[in-house]
Structure 1
Amino acid sequence: MSLKILDQLSQDFTQLLENSYDYNVVIEVGKQPNIKLYKAHSAILYQRSLYFRQKLTNATKKNNVIEFKIPNLSVQTFDIIIRYIYSGIVSLENFEAATIFDLLIDLNEFQFIELVERIQAYLLIIMLLGFHPSMIFNSDDFKTLQENAFIALLKQDDLQMEESEIWDKVILWGKARTPDLPSNLEVWTDENFKSLKATLQHCLPHIRYFQIPSEDVLKKIKPYHNILEKNIWDDILAKYLAPNVPIASLILPPRKKATVQLPSRKASIITPSSSIITLEHIAELSSWIDRRSKIYNTTEIPYEFKLLLRGSRDGFTVLKIDSTNEILGGYNLLIWKVPNGKYSERATTADSFIFSLKNRNQSILSRVKDESTAIVYGKISQGPIFGNGLGMGRRSKSISKEWYSSETVYEKPIRNIDAWFFIDEYEVFQICKI
């Protein structure tokens, strides 16, 4: 019989990182005033990271210590990476999507391929399923969802489900991960409830109990109230029996409901959720999508522009150029994806276009002329790419806000010069027919 006590091994190596015993590598990370020195061990770095293996191969020692400088990496990101190197653990629950996105890019450069793939899956769950939870909650694979991903979903303020439905899914997930529970709740013992409570101990604090209607409290929560802390259950009862009496429990706010646009072309106002484009821009873009010569009136826009990502908020296609306030973008009817291999992939479409938004009579529309390379699915360190016309690239390894624009695949240029440039903000929209 073989015993695998990996948790203890992970803790021991983490402690080795923290106490720096017998270190022989010093890594300086960041730029002034945010610099941090890490004391590490060449044997561990060499074995755990292809990036450091290459660095160590030709490194020279000074007083028996190897020194590295990584100025273009943040201390926060490297702290996650070095702890993963030593412990094999990455905890994502407490990080914003923007931080995770930056981490993903840097992990790819450190060649942690398996971890990159897992975080990609994690991001897809968090960013997509928060708005479409039925995609996972109603699937056969829901019960196999990892706890950290499940908790991240439960934490979302904009999870688009009723709180009582979220409770149902938590119970269902917990039962699936707790062995030997009777199917008939009426025959459950105290031990059965204790087992389920242990399984759900990290999930239960994220349920917004005080936002659940009293009928559902009676129907859904009461049968399982033994898995709750006594003070929580007492406060739930008090909230509905005497709503004006103060309680000790923290009352989490209701989840934010996504704004639903009015489903009529005759609607007087459709408010864009963008910090870059206006309602007039949306009318112009909608006209281009439909290949109209006349621009839609703002009261007859036939599309809803759903904001999926914002650079300053989520870390990842409309963009505003730093210092010039130019607004550039592209329209892609196909889905965006990450290629399976390490090389870019091309996609064919006759409907894509790139643009520069100005005043109505001065905006530039450039439709695709080489359909075979209209869209490029770039590497993980890149973003949306419209052929050679417009794309998010990375000339230097630490920059994720660097874009380029040139004229090759599309009819005409949308900038005066073909050059790399920095952006102030960028947004990704899903365009839905009303």
Structure 2
Amino acid sequence: MSLKFFDKLSQNLIELLNDKEDYNVIIEVENKEKSFTAHSNVLKFRSSYFRRELENIQPNENNIKSIIKSSISAQIFNIILQYIYGGIVDLKNCETRFIYDLMLAADEFELEELTNKLETLLIETKGSWLRTHFSLVYHSIFSQNDFKKLEEFCNDIVVKYPKLIFDADEFTSLEESALVSLLKRNDLQMEEVKIWDYVIKWGIAQTSTLPTNLDDWTKENFLTLKTTLQQCLPHIRYFHLSSIEVVDKIEPYRKILDKQLWKDINQHLLIPDRPVKSIILPPRSVLVTELPPHAEKPREPFSTIISDEHAAEISTWIDRRETAYNLTNIPYKFELILRGTRDGFAPQTFWNMCHGHACTVVLVKVKGTDEIIGGYNPLAWDNSNIDDEWMETKDSFIFSLKNGNIQNSILSRVKYPRVAVYYISKNDQINWGPRFGDFWMCSKKSDFTLDDGCSCRRNVLSYEKPIRSSSSWFSIINYEVFKIIRKTI
């Protein structure tokens, strides 16, 4: 018989963590702006990461060892320490992106139990968020290679909708393990010849020294590509390609294939019933994904704020066209990054989710009116600024759109490019969202819907003309941020 008193043990260990005496480790986080004290024995026995780190660090004159983890936020590391000491993780009121970042941090510190719990939690309860932020999730989990359940979750989506990855701008930066995991799938819904094209594209992108013109390639160039693709090539279904596909697509790169494989491919085309020495993989299965005509669902609107007509108008402004685009020739896709009613209205959410995205449109629905206002930023948003900073661009603009009682749209291009867009410092992002000179979003309550913190200047500073007839501050009922991507033909 054994008596267990884990709750009291957890409480006492948390008290030890909070006790600022007898510590012998200092961990600095968040660009060394925050620090935590801890005890080496606790860290070593709870995390193999800390065991290795502490063994390689010399103590100072006070017998204290220092660890620097600049990229970890203080909020996340505090939860990590609470788990290490007390086995408690409080996720109440935490946004999904925070939980996701916490999982990545737990993996970095080799806290397998916590990592697995958070991975399962995200899959079972946050599937919608994972799908919405698919590109972010997919690239980060394969760079770590420790999230097998999330890898399977994502690949189950990619095999049905391969364009999510293969047509993405970041395709050539895809981790090799991610690409191989897809090539292994029998249910990848792509023509085999297109899979081959993408594999070649990815392989060439990994080596910048390869000549642009294939006719200029040397034997060494082909050997380089073969080495790069050695994990990918065995998973191509060569024996299910047509003769035209083999001649047009495979034959130009035959030197990256083993001689026996190339011989067997040609023999199979001429005498398909004769056995070959190479392994013949099964054909990829084709899933029936199309609904019969009577069961087809109407296309969901891409935005809850603007229409396709508005998108055509914004596209016209981006390209500075005198002739407006119509619904049949809009050259851009509006790819949703953030929606307030889905992702929340905290200003920090904007900076977290839009960081790194360029060519974006911010759209705002004003509370109590029919107004739709917004701004276009061709530059990449950056949430890492230590200080506030004006960003220079001649291509940004702000606008209001025709809607309801609003008779005409208003376009206001930047007048002084040096003060076009204002990037908020990290410390102020809790209250401030995007700012386009004369138009900004702010909330002292950290929720754009709870106070009248948004404004558009009547006395213009950065842009050509005001976009609202009223100079009053306002609240919003929703906002969206779209990445503007030129369509491929």
Give the TM-score range, shorter chain.
Answer: 0.3 to 0.5
TM-score normalized with structure 2 length: 0.43
Q: Which protein shows a greater Rg?
A: 2
Specify which structure has the bigger relative contact order, considering alpha-carbon pairs within 8 angstroms and separated by 6 or more residues. 1
TM-score normalized with structure 1 length: 0.47
